Amino acid sequence: MKKPVRIAIAGLGTVGAGTIRLLHEHKDLIELRCGRPVVVVAVSARDRSRDRGVSLDGFTWFDDPALMAAEAEAEVVVELIGGSDGPAKAVCLAAIAHGRHVVTANKALLAHYGADLARAAESRGVALAYEAAVAGGIPIIKALREGLAGNRISRVYGILNGTCNYILTTMRQTGRDFADVLSEAMKLGYAESDPSFDIDGIDTAHKLAILASVAFGTPVAFGDVFIEGIRHISAMDISYAEELGYRIKLLGIARLTEHGIEQRVHPCMVPLATAIARVDGVFNAVVAEGDFVGRSVYEGRGAGAGATASAVVADIIDIACGRFVPTFGLPVGAMRPLPPSPVERRRGAYYIRLMVVDRPGVFADIAAALRDEQVSMESVLQRRRAPGESVPVVVTIHDTDEASMRRALARIGGLPAMVEPPHLIRIETL
């Protein structure tokens, strides 16, 4: 029998336990696909006594995960601790320094330190694999880095956060508002006790920065991502979107433009006929556009023990078979920084919702503010009249520059008839 692949796992939460379970239940299948056994030899976590639903018998226990990465007799170290710094980073650096391959599900770590870790892995001739870091069980990193390697990618975008997609889907299906659905998502375990990273778009931005690096051969530039979350989306917006022929999705969008690389995360209205509009619940979807392949669409579970463990084990199998490529598809020295194209340069259509006091002259004032910034209205919706009271007014805007749109909204927001700041959602035709 060939020498087994020896694995050390740092972090025994949902994904860590799921990885151990998958390696155990599919032991024979994995050995056939690797050509040799895969065995866990060491683990590390904060609490030894916790019941994780899997047996840890026979594994060497380390209280210090970085010490495990340095000293365990392992070929591969799997980092499932999470967090952009601290123990997770220390584990990866220790493993690489000692010539061990690294598999991680840590998108925050890669978004902030991906280039440094990739450079260190290259210098030691080891793999830094992270399929589980983006879109859970969807093999999008492998698709971009290997399956589409012969293409020049022009755009990659998608639903990258299941929590937000669940909230927006439930709001549409039930007519309930954001705060109510968020509270339910937290009770069901679809949202963390502090859901800020999800609902404010940070989690999606981490993943988008990684996808953009792989797609465009440029260093990860998380700081260049425009980020806007979903807190301001109301049941009223969801209803108006349906009436106008759209669904609201939180998307991460990266594309090459004449000005550089555009990276933005924000709620979008997408046409009902598009594939991504029909991706509901906790599912993720990613779309890549290449010059030869055209458009390819990937959909699946974006999180959870099974989906994420599936991606972790896929990376382990690749390493066991000797299949690994540069971390972001190119050697670090071959990657070229691209100038960021700010969101103000975006040109497209817009939805704006205004709460105004219903009185004569309001429409004229709104139209004048738009006209003065060269912004053209496509349609206006007002469902009811209530003279002297506040009413919602929805305006859709023909393609225009974001900078002009923002100037117009600033003027509209200052009008005496405005009851609250204007709400904007970008329309993406995709």
- State pLDDT tens for residues 320-335: 999 989 999 999 999 9
Please state, in angstroms and as integers, the Cα–Cα distance from residue 194 to each residue in 48, 91, 197, 200, following that order: 25, 25, 8, 11
Range of 53-62, 338-347, 379-388 with top mean pLDDT: 338-347
Return the sign of the alpha-carbon dihedral for residues 178, 184, 189, 195.
Answer: positive
| Coil, helix or strand at residue 356 | strand
Tokens 């990937």 belong to: 298
Phi first, then psi: give them for residue 276, nearest 5 degrees: -70, -25
- State pLDDT tens for residues 391-417: 899 999 999 999 999 999 999 999 999
The domain 5-133 is placed in CATH, from the list 3.90.700.10, 3.40.50.720, 3.90.25.10, 3.40.640.10, at 3.40.50.720
In 116-259, DSSP assigns E strands to 128-129, 153-159, 226-227, 246-257
- Tokens standing for 237? 């917006």
Phi first, then psi: give them for residue 179, nearest 5 degrees: -60, -40
Architecture of domain 346-427: 2-Layer Sandwich (3.30)
Q: Give the confidence band of 389 by pLDDT, cuts at 50, 70, 90.
A: confident
- Tokens standing for 128? 């830094």
CA distance 313 to 22: 8
Residue 388 has pLDDT above 90, yes or no: no
- State pLDDT tens for residues 166-196: 999 999 999 999 999 999 988 888 888 889 9
Residue 236 has pLDDT above 80, yes or no: yes
- Tokens standing for 153? 């990618």
Closest listed residue to residue 364, CA positions, set 340, 393, 386: 393
Residue 130 has pLDDT above 70, yes or no: yes
The mean pLDDT value for 276-282 works out to: 95
CA distance 358 to 369: 18
Give the pLDDT score at 382: 82
Closest listed residue to residue 58, CA positions, set 69, 43, 47: 43
Domain coordinates in residue numbering, the chain: 5-133, 140-301, 346-427
Residue 46 has pLDDT above 80, yes or no: yes
Assess contact for 200 and 163: CB atoms under 8 A. Answer: no
CA distance 294 to 192: 37
Give the pLDDT score at 304: 85
Assess contact for 213 and 219: CB atoms under 8 A. Answer: yes
Phi first, then psi: give them for residue 355, nearest 5 degrees: -105, 115
Strand partners, 287: 157, 297
Q: What is the pTM of this model?
A: 0.95
- Name the catalytic one among 89, 107, 142, 207: 207
Active site residue 207: yes
Residue 272 has pLDDT above 80, yes or no: yes
The mean pLDDT value for 296-314 works out to: 93
Return the sign of the alpha-carbon dihedral for residues 255, 258, 264, 266.
Answer: negative
CA distance 20 to 11: 11
Q: What is the mean pLDDT of the chain?
A: 94
CA distance 159 to 64: 36
State how beta strands 246-257 and 153-159 pair.
Answer: antiparallel
CA distance 83 to 46: 15
CA distance 163 to 253: 18
Strand partners, 265: 227, 252
CA distance 95 to 93: 5
Rg, Å, the chain Cα set: 24
CA distance 323 to 320: 8
Could you tell me how far CA 282 lies from the centroid of its own chain? 12
CATH H superfamily, domain 140-301: Dihydrodipicolinate Reductase; domain 2 (3.30.360.10)
Q: Which of 25-29, 194-198, 239-243, 300-304 has the lowest mean pLDDT?
A: 300-304
Return the sign of the alpha-carbon dihedral for residues 138, 144, 146, 148.
Answer: positive
Residue 276 has pLDDT above 90, yes or no: yes
Give the pLDDT score at 1: 59
Alpha helix (H) ranges present in 299-342?
A: 305-320
Give the pLDDT score at 302: 86
Q: Give the confidence band of 285 by pLDDT, cuts at 50, 70, 90.
A: very high
Q: 13: how many CB neighbours lie within 10 A of its CB?
A: 15
Residue 383 has pLDDT above 80, yes or no: no
Closest listed residue to residue 262, CA positions, set 286, 226, 228: 226
The mean pLDDT value for 208-229 works out to: 97
